[in-house]
Amino acid sequence: MTAGTYPKAGGSREDVLRENCDIVRDIIVEVERYAPAAIVLIVANPVDVATQVALSHSGFRKTRLISAGTLVDTMRLVRLVSDHVKIDPRSVSGYVVGEHGDGGLVPWSVFTICGMDVDTYCRLNNLEPLDKEMLRRQVVEAGHSVFSKKGYTNYGIGASISRIVRAIALDEKTVLPVGTLLEGEYGVDGAVMSLPCVIGRNGVEQIIQCDFSDAEVDQLKQSGNHIRQLWAMAEEEQAVIG
């Protein structure tokens, strides 16, 4: 589901919160009417809130109503790290988790290069340490940068959508960071957020438990609070309109 408006130049995904959540409400009702057994992938921004709105206005199970989440952010991050260390991205493993937006979190505690944590890899191979916060900011700002230059984004998100669909269609059981409704995982309840998930024929088949640091878990909780606040705003505006 990609239908939605774009933010104005210099704006944020949250600027289109009301308009896009209205669109999602209208569409999800029709999708459920005509294709109740579908797996629905939400792409319209703000994608996590839009997915939560779709869940609350339909009978779809959370495993079959998925946010495209932070997969595109993760792909960008892996490419940036691989460029820094000058090795194939397939030897780099890690995720951006939480929300697709400024609150996206990189849990470096589980990020590896050739099976080693990034600091160890750089030290043993005579490389400058990664500027972790700079990399996170580059990833977060990448979409805004592309949008400001051509007025839309398509290739990065297109590739991530294709990857998710392939994992479902071929029942790959692969692990991808997509948005799903959390119900207590990492202390977050009632918020759609991205975490590494097993993706197969049934959609989200498992949320992977990772050994995040205490600080990273705290950041996830903050991100979850932000998403719930935006969701409440979207629903309040709908109630006023209704």
DSSP 8-state symbol, 106:
-
DSSP 8-state symbol, 27:
H
Non-local CB neighbours of 192 within 8 Å, separated by 6+ positions:
48, 49, 51, 52, 55, 67, 179, 180, 181, 182, 227
Distance CA 113, CA 90 (A): 9
Instruction: Confirm whether 100 is a catalytic residue.
Output: yes
Radius of gyration of the chain measured on its C-alpha atoms = 18
Non-local CB neighbours of 37 within 8 Å, separated by 6+ positions:
none
SS3 content of the chain, % helix, strand, coil (to 5): 55, 15, 30
- Cβ-based neighbour number of residue 96 at 10 Å: 26
In terms of Cβ atoms closer than 10 Å to its own Cβ (0-12, 13-18, 19+), residue 204 is buried
Catalytic residue among 84, 100, 144, 226: 100
- Please give the positions annotated as active site: 100
